[in-house]
Structures are given as C-alpha cells and as structure tokens.
C-alpha cells in the first residue's frame, strides 16, 4: 500500500516526539508499505512567529506572513527526515515547493491548484520515505504561500489524491472523531466511521479535528482518511463514503462554533440586486459568509440583511458592509460577536423527519433562544447566544441518544 501519514503540531512538538513519529513511519515501511509523511510546525512555533510579527508590525504584509509561517514546517520536515534516516530507513525532506504543491496567489489562505508529484514518486520508487512540509505551497510565479489554519490536513489529503494513495492517516492528539467535544460532554463516544458529508459538516461547523477543505478534497477524490492518535495504537475513525449502517443513525454528532460574528445591514432599500452586490463585495475580499437571513425591517418598507462571518474577518466585513450601506442609503450596520452556532449532523436525517423540530424544542425547553437557523439535507444549525453553548451541546447530545450509556 501507499500510505500518506500526517502528523500535527503536538505529534511533532519536540525532538523526542519527532523520534516517536520516525519510529511509527519506519514500522509502517517495514510492514511493506510506501510512506509519505506530511508534518506541521512544532506546536507553539506558529504562534510564536505570529507573535513576533505582531511585535514588529501592526498590520503585517500577507506575502511576508506566508514566508514567515512556512518556516515552521520546514524545520519539522528536516528534523523528521533526519530522525527516520537515523533508524536506518532512507528518507528525504521536501518543502511544499519541492513536492510540487502549486497554489493560487491568495496569501495566508491559498488554494492548491495542482500537485506535480514526479519528484515524490521518483523518491518513493527509489525506496525513500518522503517527508513533506505541510501547510505550504508555491505559486506559478515562485512566491511562497500558506494554506490557512489546519492547512497541513489539506496538504496530506491533496498529496494522497495526487499519488493515488490507498490511505491517508491524520495523526493528532485525540483518538478520532467524537459525537461531540469530550471536553464539554464526557459521555461523548468515538465514532468508528463517518461519511465524508457528515465529517464535512462537522469540520465546517467547528469540530477542530479535521480542516474543512481537506474533507472536501477527500470526498471529491474519494481518499479514505483515518483520524487517529499519534500517542497510542487505537484504530481511530475512518472517514469514508456513506454506507447503509450510517443511514440508520439519525444524528451522528453535535458541533459548535464560537468563532461567529453576525452583521446586520439595517433598513436596506428594497431594490433588486442589492444582496448580490453586498455578498459579491464580501466574497471578493475572500471572506466566507455562512448563515444569511433577510427580514422585513421594522418600518415595513425596507429589509434587514443579516449574515455571519468568522470573527477574524468581522472587522474587514464591517468596513465593506459599512461602505456599501452608505452608498445604498441603508441605516447602518450592526455587529454582534457574542454568538455561537450549534449544529446536529447526520446522513440519517435524509430519511427521518421531525429532527429539526426536535432540536428547536429541546433548545427552547432549556431556555435557549434561537436567533437564526440554517439547514442542509444532513444538518440543522442554530445561532444562539455564546453563553449557552455548553448547555446546548449537552442537552442535544443527550436528546439524540449520543451518550455512551445508550
């Protein structure tokens, strides 16, 4: 088999842990597999670099930010390769560029456009374990880019897809994907397997175990992904295509996301094309809008348009919305960032009705007010006040039968 293994920041957090990673890699090679290793920066390293940037600049240039942050992964890549060689297994370290990871030029959150895997394939054919720096790539113009927070997951899945790997293992500091955050609900269960669609919803809804785009990528290219711990040999959670077992479960997990800001453009004159203009402007700034709600205003003559964005983008979104509001003669823009999004996810929802109503009822029964709702075929999300997050997660987890004792 050809196996891609990705090790996160805590798994390579110090030289001893890097040696443990090397041991696992070599064990996998000795089982007869070809292995490609993707590594993150040592935990704390990226935060240190961001802190440095903040100390020298109030608004660091994004191009230089990427040059800065990509250094962390290069360090672990070199060290991991050395540690594998030390165990008598040939190994070679590649930067994102050397591994042929070509991205667009959107600094700090670049998208992978393609992977020129020749060099990696050649090294594998020559018996090397190949270690690749995650989180980074290079544009056609030879500029260094990074893929955004959690980007190493994406590097791993994209490399697995490009190499047509049999398996992509994501090693982290938890045992797999849980029905919800075990820090909030100690009864949360580890899932044996989960569908791409469910994982995608959970990932994008704030379950931090796998980066959203990496799940999309895995789904699109049908890459089997296993999430497991680098600190033990437990089997982890397989993320794969939907099957009949999965459909029997109505709700597979409960997710929450506190990184939400809600902007409301008030009293927008009721003219066609205005919403399109607003959301085009936001999209052009590479800000992802999540929930959108449009209401008739209190005056009955105009509309209030509300939408949510990641908190980190709220300042820029506000500037853009404000400017547009002025142009349009809207009344102004209101921001709230004390909100959280709570979601239930499960492919079984497709064939079971009443799930949304059951969620609303449960929240209501515990006095949690719902401020906006969004749904898809396999999930229901509610925007609530952030202070109710833990309560909401707990009662929904119980309500949908996810606790261990069930």
Positions that interact with a copy of itself (CB under 8 A): 15-16, 18-19, 22, 49, 52-53, 55-61, 63-65, 67-68, 70-72, 74-75, 77-83, 85-86, 91-93, 95, 98, 142, 144
Comparing CB distances to a copy of itself, the nearer of 108 and 375 is 108
Comparing CB distances to a copy of itself, the nearer of 76 and 180 is 76
Comparing CB distances to a copy of itself, the nearer of 69 and 287 is 69
Least distance between a copy of itself and beta carbon 297 (Å)? 43
Comparing CB distances to a copy of itself, the nearer of 124 and 210 is 124
Least distance between a copy of itself and beta carbon 22 (Å)? 7
Comparing CB distances to a copy of itself, the nearer of 80 and 240 is 80
73 contacts 154 by C-beta, under 8 angstroms: no
Least distance between a copy of itself and beta carbon 86 (Å)? 4
CB atoms within 10 A of CB 99: 28
Least distance between a copy of itself and beta carbon 144 (Å)? 7
226 contacts 269 by C-beta, under 8 angstroms: no
Q: Per the structure block, which two tokens stand in for 280?
A: 């085009």
- Residue 194 and residue 177: Cα distance in Å, rounded? 8
CB atoms within 10 A of CB 286: 12
Least distance between a copy of itself and beta carbon 53 (Å)? 6
- If you ran DSSP here, which 8-state letter would residue 41 be given? P
- Dihedral sign of CA atoms 273, 324, 107, 221 in order: negative
Comparing CB distances to a copy of itself, the nearer of 44 and 401 is 44
- Residue 82 and residue 98: Cα distance in Å, rounded? 17
Least distance between a copy of itself and beta carbon 20 (Å)? 11
Strands (E), 209-290: 225-229, 237-240, 253-269
Comparing CB distances to a copy of itself, the nearer of 13 and 150 is 13
Least distance between a copy of itself and beta carbon 12 (Å)? 10
CB atoms within 10 A of CB 280: 12
Comparing CB distances to a copy of itself, the nearer of 70 and 381 is 70
- Residue 183 and residue 176: Cα distance in Å, rounded? 14
Q: Per the structure block, which two tokens stand in for 85?
A: 């060689």
Least distance between a copy of itself and beta carbon 67 (Å)? 4
271 contacts 324 by C-beta, under 8 angstroms: no
Orientation angle between helical segments 62-86 and 45-56, nearest 10 degrees: 150
């Amino acid at each position: 088999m050809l196996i891609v293994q990705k090790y996160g920041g805590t798994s390579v957090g110090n030289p001893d842990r890097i040696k443990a990673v090397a041991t696992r890699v070599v064990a996998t090679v000795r089982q007869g597999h070809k292995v490609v290793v993707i590594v993150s920066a040592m935990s704390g390293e990226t935060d240190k670099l961001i802190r440095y940037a903040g100390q020298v600049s109030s608004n660091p240039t994004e191009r230089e930010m990427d040059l800065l942050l990509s250094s962390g992964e290069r360090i672990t890549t070199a060290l991991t390769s050395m540690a594998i060689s030390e165990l008598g297994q040939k190994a070679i370290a590649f930067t994102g560029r050397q591994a042929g990871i070509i991205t667009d030029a959107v600094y700090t959150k670049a998208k992978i456009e393609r992977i020129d895997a020749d060099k990696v394939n050649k090294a594998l054919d020559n018996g090397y374990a190949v270690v690749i720096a995650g989180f980074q790539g290079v544009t056609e113009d030879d500029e260094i880019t990074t893929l955004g927070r959690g980007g190493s997951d994406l590097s791993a899945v994209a490399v697995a897809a490009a190499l047509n790997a049999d398996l992509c293992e994501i090693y982290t500091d938890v045992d797999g994907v849980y029905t919800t955050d075990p820090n909030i609900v100690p009864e949360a269960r580890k899932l044996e397997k989960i569908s791409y669609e469910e994982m995608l919803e959970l990932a994008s809804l704030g379950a931090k175990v796998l980066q959203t785009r990496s799940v999309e990528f895995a789904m699109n290219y049908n890459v089997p992904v296993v999430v497991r711990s680098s600190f033990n040999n437990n089997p982890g959670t397989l993320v794969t295509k939907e099957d009949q077992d999965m459909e029997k479960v109505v709700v597979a997990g409960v997710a929450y996301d506190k990184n939400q800001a809600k902007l409301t453009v008030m009293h927008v004159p009721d003219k066609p094309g205005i919403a399109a203009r607003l959301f085009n402007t936001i999209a052009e700034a590479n800000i992802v809008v999540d929930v959108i709600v449009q209401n008739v205003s209190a005056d009955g003559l105009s509309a209030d348009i509300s939408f949510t964005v990641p908190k980190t983008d709220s300042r820029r979104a506000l500037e853009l919305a404000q400017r547009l509001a002025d142009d349009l003669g809207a009344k102004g823009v209101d921001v709230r960032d004390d909100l959280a999004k709570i979601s239930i996810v499960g492919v079984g929802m497709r064939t079971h009705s009443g799930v949304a109503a059951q969620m609303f009822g449960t929240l209501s029964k515990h006095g949690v007010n719902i401020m906006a709702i969004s749904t898809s075929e396999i999930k229901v999300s509610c925007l609530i006040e952030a202070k109710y997050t833990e309560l909401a997660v707990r009662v929904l987890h119980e309500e949908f039968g996810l606790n261990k004792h069930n």
